[in-house]
A and B are shown apart, each in its own frame.
Chain A
């Protein structure tokens, strides 16, 4: 069964600190892996997309890594800001039409 698991479920950090979120997946066929940011009551917004041949990709203070052999990914957030408070969702795309399989997300709270 296709699954995307994320940890931790929730995380609280202080403004300015770094954090790393984890994702493990079992999805076949695999097309690409995405990290999305979702604010409460809003649609997901893409942060990064990586194919199996890409090991790392950055988008500003966000850096995602992918190990296609172990089927693991991480999202590292540097110098966190209050506006980073949101759910961060690992999403694996499967098949030619890019059906997205979502993880449950990590709810991040950045405190001043």
Chain B
């Protein structure tokens, strides 16, 4: 069964450093998402991406964040200058389509745990 994969599973970085989190969505999917979950808190939407551009972003997704689909398979989240409060689990998700139908499922990857020291 196809699945969303994410690398690395755990990333430790120092405050102020840049990090790139990588995701490989399911191959025929067209919509891509990043979410984060701070330890013990709710999962929060960061950004959605379609047709090589951001379709929606949250207030969390400020100028320090960027997303890219550098080739036909990878989808990346870059944090330019990490802060302590960026420590969280970051989940990538993808869906075949989007809209109101109940068939537009989002499939989540296993997550990357980012620790900023």
Contact = CB atoms under 8 A, between A and B. Distances in A.
A102 interface: yes
Nearest to B44: A102
B97 to A, nearest CB: 9
A100 B42 contact: no
Interface in B26-65: 31, 33, 35, 41-45, 48, 50, 55-56, 58
Contacts, number: 72
Interface of A: 31-32, 41-46, 49-51, 54, 57, 89, 95-105
- Which residue, B42, B55, B58, B111, has most C-beta atoms of chain A within 10 A? B42
Nearest to A51: B102
Interface residues of B, number: 33
B98 A98 contact: yes
23 contacts: A31-B99, A42-B110, A43-B4, A43-B111, A44-B108, A45-B108, A49-B105, A51-B102, A95-B56, A96-B98, A96-B100, A97-B50, A97-B98, A98-B31, A98-B99, A98-B106, A99-B45, A99-B48, A99-B58, A100-B45, A101-B45, A102-B44, A105-B42
